[in-house]
Amino acid sequence: MNLYDGHRVEDHASFLFDDVLPAVVGYADSQGVPTGVAAFAVFLTMAGIMAIDGVGRDEIIRAIDEMRFPADSAPEVLQ
């Protein structure tokens, strides 16, 4: 998926799976909230930053619709 020309989400998979995801899961566990709640808070914050950066609502929604998450190859923390 391309959000910005020349940049792909897939190029950052190790950062997302090795750093971001464990941080979100760890935070949720430490606060006693469902992982989805913490993930949604992160998503809303990042969407807000992207909007400030000029990414339109339609582009954010299109990116969500186009995102494919291969659950079978996801790290153990998700399964």
Q: How do the pLDDT tens digits run along the chain, 79 residues long?
A: 445 667 777 888 899 999 999 999 999 999 999 999 999 999 999 999 999 989 999 988 988 888 776 655 555 555 4
* Structural domain range at position 56: 2-73
Residue 26 lies in a domain: yes
Q: Report pLDDT for 78.
A: 54
Residue 78 lies in a domain: no
* pLDDT for the residue 69: 65
Note whether residue 33 is domain-resident: yes
Phi, psi of 53 (to 5 degrees): -80, 0
79 in a domain, yes or no? no
Number of domains in the chain: 1
Give me the count of residues in the chain. 79
In contact, 53 and 45? CB cutoff 8 Å: no
* Amino acid occupying residue 55: V
Q: Cβ(1)–Cβ(8) under 8 Å?
A: yes
Residue 38 inside a domain? The answer is yes
